Structure 1
């Protein structure tokens, strides 16, 4: 029983860690999903409230996972894990039955599950949470009280710091289609032989006050005694959906210029602000000098936002912006850029750089061989991320081995 107890604890902890981590590195994306949840339930909440709830949810889930995995305060944490699993099992069942939200977002953008898949996943995990809760008094801490409380404090604070860091900057790992190396135009295309949507079409006709359903193959098109009433169309199987399917750039004078911008050879800069009204003004001002440099070098620099009309002019008056501002869908822009505003660099239509508003490089970066500088910066960032991950893994498993050794 001892071995089974700890296997359940470790598996449940690992699942909470993974689920909490992939959401914690993108808390803004989680807030969008929570906003959809409340809206679908008829209780829309402000976006800032959704963001606070998202950070709390992501941090709590990661904290629970770390505490379970490290065998820290399991008596207390087992209550939280069981409450989480019961609550979200019920929620996912409701979503599966109503289908009001297409994706639960339980694994962020890392893995997409249908509502029924999510509900079944929760049914599989729930027994582990019940087992850990049932056996909670048998998980003994063999470390000192000071070590236990220090570890507890660290795993309580660290997830919050991770969420806040990714809010200010960008997700540590980008699971969305707008990532370094992605050609946006190619990501919008549908392959020639891609499967199309499959529909079940029923044609309803009426005769002598009686309604009857027919298929497209056997409907009574030659019998004039039947009167057409309605057509019922049901999606049976979803066809291929391009990774990027809702991105567009609309000019007030030239109309849709998406292809023109995305297929342009050479460098192009997209200054993305999902909503200019809520954009960080100080970060937005950083674009002015960069635009001047690009203009002198004949490099396209444009702003894309869902904001139009007088609010654009108000934004220009606050920031002194001279660059062209084009329209796009707000949801698409929020998917492409997790800060408001942020900067994206394209080379021949392929994303080679993406920065949050806080991390936009100094103007001098955009002089000279910008592409070469960015390649070096990406290598440095990759090395730093690898070192950080390795340190985190070593600390986590080192602490786990210490506890197991004492047991």
Structure 2
């Protein structure tokens, strides 16, 4: 009975840690953005330059510890490591939920968005399971002989770390973001007819001018009781709004492509029946300049030979973008959008999207953008 309970906890904790680490390692750059949010909350933004490294290593650590628990190698040290990391995670999720700071923890990346309280609940369950294992750590025995287990552990370390570096260098293996290949951007920005909007509840604070009595009631109670007809009751301060029921929310809600004069170009750029090559470089100060130069040469050839619209989309200030384009002799039209949607478009700086009729035909990290001949063969030669 006891052995069965320990095995249940081992399997549950091991698989959950592997799954959690794998989902985040699929998109380490996205996880690093989440870490930067935490760094800002705790006023340790000097760590931002190391956020990506922390993200890759933390994801790898989750997978390594989960796998090590399953096979029972280095049991005591692994169990201590699991206990330490889950206490750390539980603190972060509780802090986020209680103080309402980071509203999505990123525990399972963009694949399974969780609220802070849901994340904290998940961490509490994991903590209880790990405590059961911790109290019975002498029962945790290796599944394989020592040398085999140690070799498997080394393999897990290599695979876990390598996977994070691979997805950072060549985009996520599975794209859970709103701007994945095949998505029609304008459609993802629409609210379908009849969709239920968010439902909010207003709370009023009232005071009786005669008796000094205080009262709090919702907007429904306020109307139902008809207290508003009594001139002795007055509303104090502004009503508080609370989300009661979440309605339909488009997957893309924050994309506004503009020129330097803030004219909106969403409709023009996302309705073209021809291919458009969009180079996304949300931060020109941190972008890979050599990669942009290569992409510029590619854009020049496509523009000249196929009359293709090539666009540089950035969150930089117009003056900085113009200076950058002039310095690098860019042939692209320059447009602007907020950094948040640009980071979601392509997990690279720069990254490339191929659009047609507002649909994302394909996208690439700057490390694996096809050369001119391959693009012509696969796309432009078939227009």
Task: Say yes or no: TM over 0.5.
Answer: yes
Unmatched 5+ residue regions in structure 2? none
Structure-1 separation of matches of 2:228 and 2:122: 47
Higher deviation after alignment, 23-32 or 72-81: 72-81
Q: CA separation in 2, counterparts of 1:113 and 1:119?
A: 9
Q: For residues 105 and 168 of structure 1, do their structure 2 counterparts lie closer, same or farther at Cα, with a shift above 3 Å needed?
A: same
- 2:256 is aligned to 248
Task: Report the Cα offset of residue 196 of structure 1.
Answer: 1.3
* In 1: Cα distance, 2:8 partner to 2:236 partner: 60
Residue 73 in structure 1 maps to residue 74 in structure 2: yes
Superposition pairs for residues 89-104 of structure 1, below 5 Å?
89-104=90-105
**2:295 paired residue number:** 287
Question: Cα distance, 1:236 vs. partner?
Answer: 2.3
> What SS does structure 2 have at the residue aligned with 1:231?
coil
Equivalent residue of 1:359, what SS?
A: coil
Please give the alpha-carbon distance, in whole angstroms, between the structure 2 residues aligned to 1:64 and 1:292: 49
Describe the SS at the equivalent of 2:367: helix
Where does structure 1 lack aligned partners over 5 or more consecutive residues?
375-407
What residue is the counterpart of 2:357 in the other structure?
A: 348
User: For 1:251, what is the secondary structure of its paired residue?
Assistant: coil
Contact 1:205/1:212 (<8 A) preserved: yes
State the secondary structure of the residue aligned to 2:242.
strand
Call closer, same or farther: CA 1:48–1:254 in 2, change over 3 Å: closer
Are 1:44 and 2:45 an aligned pair? yes
Cα pair 1:275 1:306 within 8 Å, conserved: yes
User: Superposed, which structure 2 residues align to 1:1-12 within 5 Å?
Assistant: 1-12=2-13
Aligned-partner Cα distance in 2 for 1:219–1:307: 53
Note the C-alpha offset of 1:17: 0.6
Distance 1:326-1:116 versus aligned 2 partners, 3 A rule: same
For the Cα contact (< 8 Å) 2:255–2:338, is it kept in 1?
yes
In the TM superposition, residue 321 of structure 1 has moved relative to its aligned partner by: 1.0
Select which of 343, 356, 359 maps to 1:334.
343
TM score, norm. by length of structure 2: 0.90
Cα distance in 2, alignment partners of residues 187 and 282 from structure 1: 33
Corresponding position of 2:54: 53
CA contact (8 A) 2:260 2:318 kept: no
Give the stretch that moved more between structures: 68-77 or 272-281: 68-77
CA distance in 2 between counterparts of 1:16 and 1:142 reads 18
Moved more, 166-175 or 357-366: 357-366
Evaluate the alpha carbon distance shift between residue 318 and residue 58 of structure 1 in structure 2; reply closer, same or farther with a 3 A threshold. Answer: farther
RMSD: 2.4
Contact residue 72 and residue 143 of structure 2 kept, 8 A = no
Whether the 8 Å CA contact 1:267–1:347 is kept in 2: the answer is yes
Would the aligned equivalents of 1:179 and 1:351 in 2 still touch at CA under 8 Å? yes
Match of 2:174 in 1: 173
Range 196-205 or range 19-28, more displaced: 196-205
Determine the structure 2 residue equivalent to 1:238: 246
1:201–1:231 CA contact under 8 A, matched in 2: no
Moved more, 105-114 or 227-236: 227-236
Aligned length: 374
Deviations 1:101-148 (A, max 9, x none): 211110011101111111222222222212222222233336444323
Counterpart secondary structure, 1:202: strand
CA deviation after TM superposition for structure 1 residue 293, in Å: 2.6
Instruction: State how far apart, in whole Å, the 1-side matches of 2:235 and 2:13 are.
Output: 56
SS of the counterpart of 2:237? strand
| 8 A Cα contact 1:39 1:45, kept in partner | no
Q: Distance in 1 between matches of 2:86 and 2:367?
A: 36
Q: Distance in 1 between matches of 2:146 and 2:243?
A: 58
1:148 aligns with 2:149: yes
For residues 183-230 of structure 1, the C-alpha deviation after alignment (integer angstroms, 9 at most, x for no partner) is 111111111212212222234455356655563626766666665542
Aligned-pair distance for 1:37? 1.7
User: Is the 2:73–2:146 Cα contact (8 Å) retained in structure 1?
Assistant: no
Deviations 1:35-77 (A, max 9, x none): 1122233443443222222122111111111212233222221
Counterparts of residues 204-219 of structure 1 (less than 5 Å): 204=205, 206=207, 207-208=209-210, 212-213=215-216, 215=219, 217=223
SS of equivalent to 2:171: coil
Alpha-carbon separation, structure 2, partners of 1:353 and 1:222: 61
Asked if 1:300 is matched to 2:338, the reply is no
CA distance 1:115–1:359, shift in 2 (3 Å): same
Q: Which residue of 1 aligns with 2:17?
A: 16
Task: State the match for 1:261 in structure 2.
Answer: 269
